[in-house]
Amino acid sequence: MVFEGRYRRNKKTLTDENQQKLANSAVAIVGCGGLGGHIAEQLARIGVGKLILFDGDRFEISNLNRQIMATELNIGQWKVEAAQERLKIVNSEIHVDAIKGWFREDTGPEHLQGVNLVCDALDSRETRVMLERVCHQMNLPLVYASIAGWYGQLGVSMPGDFSAQWLFGRGDNGVEKTWGNPAFTPGVLACLSVAETVKILIGRQPSLRNAWLQVDLLTMEFERFEIE
């Protein structure tokens, strides 16, 4: 089936050339939970031609409050398989690969062959830093986001920047588990992540290179910090 006019509402924001660049792009999304599910759906809807999804977890009941791919009917299903099924219904014109497993430094580069950009939707500080290291080895831009409760952080790490290591290379894990996550926080940070991703894919400069955005949805304050 061909759905003429699918991207008609993009045209006031994206040119035909921009849309073709998205169609020719491949994005890897590492983590398909609250953040990653929203990121994957938005990239599929805007027309990114290929998505590669990484996650080693299955849906459980507690995911229903925030994870867009989770439903009462797919509890126990692999998250990447559920996402793949949903995205095929959302946009049958794109290609979606599902990797059932956690991203690993030794096997990750093989899966990232041909990818133009990586979206980090992880909840592990150590894995986030490792993912950035792999991306830089492969000369890939990384858009990273993290969430906890009312709060979130977002940034862009271009090859050689090591911004995620600077920001997440110290401190403690478990903040998300302590504060939890409501439905709105992953949605907001995913939107911001996709906006930066689209800019990079169409050849525009990202706004958060060598910087990060601190999001406070309780006070509705968004503050940008520079990384020296």
Domain boundaries, the chain: 13-226
SS3 for 109-124, per residue?
A: HHHCCCCCEEEECCCC
Give residue 116's Cα distance to chain centre.
13
One pLDDT digit (tens) per residue for the chain, 228 residues: 567 899 999 998 999 999 999 999 999 999 999 999 999 999 999 999 999 999 999 999 999 999 999 999 999 999 999 999 999 999 999 999 999 999 999 999 999 999 999 999 998 889 999 999 999 999 999 999 999 999 999 999 999 999 999 998 876 555 556 788 999 999 999 999 999 999 999 999 999 999 999 999 999 999 999 997
The values of phi and psi at residue 41, to 5°, are -65, -40
Assigned CATH for 13-226: 3.40.50.720
Cα(26)–Cα(50) distance, integer angstroms: 4
> E strands of 33-185, at which residues?
50-55, 95-100, 117-120, 142-148, 151-157
Bridge partner list, 54: 30, 99
Q: What are the start-end ranges of the H helices in 47-123?
A: 79-90, 108-111
Residue 58, both tokens: 């299955």
Q: Render pLDDT for 66-110 as a digit per residue (tens, 0 to 9).
A: 999 999 999 999 999 999 999 999 999 999 999 999 999 999 999
Cα(54)–Cα(108) distance, integer angstroms: 10
